[in-house]
Amino acid sequence: MLTVTDVNYIRQEVNLKRRTYSEVANQMGLDFRTIKKYADKEDWNEPKQIQRRKARVMGAAKPIIDQWLLDDSKKKKKFQRTAKRMFDQLVKEHNFQGSYRAVRDYVSRRKKELGEAAESALPLEAKPGTAQVDFGEAPFIHNGEVIDLPYLVLSFPYSNTFYFQVFRSQNRECFLEGLKRIFHYIGGVPKAIRFDNLTPAVKKILPHGERVLTDEFQRFVFHYGFTPEFCNPASGNEKGHVEAMVKYVRNNFLLPELPFSDLESLNRTFWQLAEEDRDRKHYVKEEQLSALYLKDQEALFQLPEKVFECVRYESGKPDKYGYLKVDNRLYSTSPRFAKGKVLAKISYNRIDIMTPEKELIISHVRIYGDQKKSMEWQPYLNLMAKRPMAIKYTDFYEQLPQNWQQYLEACTVPEKQQALRLLSVLLKEHDFSIATEALSLASEYGHPSVDSIKQVFYQLINGRGVRKEIEIRKGSVPVMPAIVRGASNYDQLFDKGGAS
């Protein structure tokens, strides 16, 4: 917008000094048409208010377009319909008689109104489809021992509902796995999620409320398309709803200590518990939580086509024994990678050790708690076969089933070498249970050879194990005549021929 001084100068230079439009435009750095407009303008009355004529044909189309805009707001921008696409649909599906321009103008105006409404919403206001997230901690019983485990809670302040999952740690992989698991269970993604400044999500807090996010969390946010919001430092009250839900979950579902053998199975029971809890009224709105949650669900973004893989990769160098350190815990690799380079693929429950070209070397169950080392012996067995007398002094020997210990004790040195090489092959794709059964069957008639164990093993995995004895039914075989010894049979022959 030009100032009054600018307009006066243009009119004086063009109309009084007779300079050309181009000369003044070049001098002032403006467009030729702008100089011409203000130099030639004659009507300086207040601009008349533009009256919008109501497009009669748009009346029935407006609610349809509004619904389409609402549906598309849950999708990524590239999946949202254009005004032209909406116009084509109206013509084809609703016999629309209006113009494309009318549809385009209405779509443009409604998008601005929806955008302004979204921007004007206060972050802490309970809007449908927004959520809060935090960790809690509760005691559990595992293998007869009481242990404290964290649980991740995602709550919906609008409907006062929640979901939760228990993990072994509050690390980055468990954090992302919990969020992903809840997203895919509920079939959508909250529009905005408020977090504390959790270490798995926030790498650094900058002035003016800015955050540097961890690489994995930033990719997770991009993938699922939600807006992350963070509390001010030491201001947990800004996510007071989820903090209250953390206490509610512990007091109502996790106390006293729950026993479990398999954490994944336990977590599957929590979905139903959270949903059954909605059979009550909201403490303020006096509506059923289940009905309010439906509004939360309607406001969710749709899930992306692909599931996010909650993993991180770390390059490392195993020590001389082939152990790789990941998060201050040791994981075995293979003797041939000792002092070499490997790549660790780290998820919440597994550690896959791979070559730099991402070829799998060995997989481990990720260890937590007091355990500091995980050993998978299969890659080491060929090395042991070269030093069979040293096997009794390894952890592997202690882990062997009793019958394998006894078998190796009775083996000669060459037999031990053959047996260890056989186990190296068998344990690549199978656990010890089948190998142990094969040894037991092969040992029924004494000390078996390695080839005998191998033969029985492959009979078991190919469905040709121990065969049942054939049952002979009584009477199904004809009775054979009794055998009588003596010379009387020969006498009968002579009698038939007659005496001469």
Based on the domain organization, do 415 and 439 belong to the same domain?
Answer: yes
Give a yes or no: residue 489 inside a domain: no
Q: Do both 442 and 344 map to the same domain?
A: no
Yes or no: say if 137 and 151 are a contact pair by the CB < 8 Å rule: yes
- Is the domain of 172 the same as that of 92? no
Contacts of 204 (CB under 8 A, 6+ apart): 211, 212
**Average pLDDT of every residue of the chain:** 85
Residue 88 contacts by C-beta under 8 Å, 6 or more apart in sequence? Answer: none
Q: Does residue 277 form part of some domain?
A: yes
CB atoms within 10 A of CB 344: 21
Q: pLDDT tens digits for 335-370?
A: 889 899 999 999 999 999 999 999 999 999 999 988
DSSP tally for the chain: helices H, then strands E? 18, 15
Mark whether 88 and 187 lie in a shared domain. no
Q: Specify the pLDDT at position 500.
A: 45
Tell me the pLDDT tens digit for each residue of 88-134.
899 999 898 888 988 998 988 888 877 654 444 434 457 899 999 99
In a domain, 470, yes or no: no
Q: Is residue 258 part of a domain?
A: yes
Check residue 381 and give its pLDDT: 83
Peptide bond into 63 cis (omega under 30): no
Strand bridging mode 258-260 / 227-230: unpaired
The pTM assigned to this predicted structure is: 0.66
Q: Residue 470 has what pLDDT?
A: 46
Q: Is residue 230 part of a domain?
A: yes
Q: Looking at the domain assignment, is residue 486 inside a domain?
A: no
Residues 356 and 430 in one domain: no
Q: Do residues 211 and 157 share a domain? A: yes
Classify residue 482: in a domain, yes or no: no
Q: What is the pLDDT of residue 112?
A: 80
* 212 in the same domain as 293: yes
- Of the three residues 120, 152, 175, the one that is the final residue of a domain is 120
Q: Which of 333, 356, 376 is the last residue of a domain?
A: 376
Q: Quote the pLDDT of residue 29.
A: 87
Instruction: Kindly provide the residue ranges of all beta strands, DSSP E only, lying in 174-268, ordered along the sequence.
Output: 192-195, 202-205, 211-213, 227-230, 258-260
Residue 49 lies in a domain: no
Structural domains counted in the chain: 5
| The predicted structure's pLDDT at residue 471 | 52
Is the CB of residue 230 less than 8 Å from the CB of residue 199? Answer: no
Pair 144, 242 in one domain: yes
All residue ranges of the chain with pLDDT < 50 are 117-124, 465-470, 472, 499-500
User: Which residues are bridge partners to 140 per DSSP?
Assistant: 147, 258
In a shared domain, residues 257 and 157: yes
**Both structure tokens of 46:** 């207040």
Question: What pLDDT does 313 receive?
Answer: 94
Last residue of a domain, one of 253, 274, 298: 298
| One domain for residues 159 and 209 | yes
CA distance 256 to 146: 11
The verdict on 286 and 204 lying in the same domain is yes
CATH of the domain at 212: 3.30.420.10
| pLDDT confidence of residue 123 | 43
From 103, 104, 76, 340, select the one nearest 225 (Cα to Cα): 76
149, 293: one domain: yes
Determine the structural domain holding residue 452 and report its residue range: 380-461
Locate 344 and state its tokens: 């660790």
The 3-class SS string of 148-193 reads EEEEEEEEECCCCEEEEEECCCCCHHHHHHHHHHHHHHHCCECCEE
